């Protein structure tokens, strides 16, 4: 079935610390994953993506890890800043069957304390 979920609905960190946001997915056919950041009153903003043939991808201050064995995705944010405060969503594309849609998780609210 379609199920993309997050282990922690809220995460509070101190400025400068590293943050880890987790996501579990249930569809083993998913082959493409994206992390989005959503600030209040705005649309989802693309952060980083990863294909299923990779297990790690790095961007600027962000790293996405994919563990297909346990169907787990994580987003690591280094040196978290107040501007990182937002809701973070993982999204997956099932791939097989020609589906164009992304299935979004529930979201984790990240709060960065100064």
Partner 1 sequence: EPEVTQTPSHQVTQMGQEVILRCVPISNHLYFYWYRQILGQKVEFLVSFYNNEISEKSEIFDDQFSVERPDGSNFTLKIRSTKLEDSAMYFCASSENAVLNNSPLHFGNGTRLTVT
Count, residues in the chain: 114
Binder of partner 1 out of 84, 89, 110, 112 (CB under 8 A): 89
How far is residue 112's CA from residue 11's CA, in Å, rounded to a whole number?
A: 9
Least distance between partner 1 and beta carbon 38 (Å): 8
For partner 1, give the closer residue by CB, 60 or 114. Answer: 60
How far is residue 40's CA from residue 70's CA, in Å, rounded to a whole number?
A: 32
For partner 1, give the closer residue by CB, 14 or 101. Answer: 101
Helix (H, G, I), strand (E, B) or coil at 14: strand
Q: What mask of x and - would describe binding to partner 1 in positions 18 to 37, judged by CB under 8 A?
A: --------------x-x-x-
Task: Please measure the distance between the N-terminal and C-terminal CA atoms of the chain and give it in whole angstroms.
Answer: 40
Query: Is residue 106 within the footprint of partner 1 (CB under 8 A)?
Result: yes
How far is residue 22's CA from residue 90's CA, in Å, rounded to a whole number?
A: 9
Least distance between partner 1 and beta carbon 16 (Å): 27
How far is residue 102's CA from residue 8's CA, in Å, rounded to a whole number?
A: 21
Residues that bind partner 1 (CB under 8 A): 32, 34, 36, 41-46, 49, 51, 89, 91, 93, 95, 98-107
């Amino acid at each position: 079935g379609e199920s993309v979920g997050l282990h922690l609905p809220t995460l509070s960190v101190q400025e400068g610390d590293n943050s880890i946001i987790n996501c579990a997915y249930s569809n083993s056919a998913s082959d493409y994953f994206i992390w989005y950041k959503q600030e209040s009153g705005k649309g989802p903003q693309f952060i980083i993506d990863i294909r299923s043939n990779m297990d790690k991808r790095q961007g600027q201050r962000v790293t996405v890890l994919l563990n297909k064995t346990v169907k787990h995705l994580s987003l690591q944010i280094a040196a978290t800043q107040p501007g990182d405060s937002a809701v973070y969503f993982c999204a997956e594309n099932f791939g097989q069957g020609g589906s164009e849609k992304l299935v979004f998780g529930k979201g984790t609210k990240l709060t960065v304390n100064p």
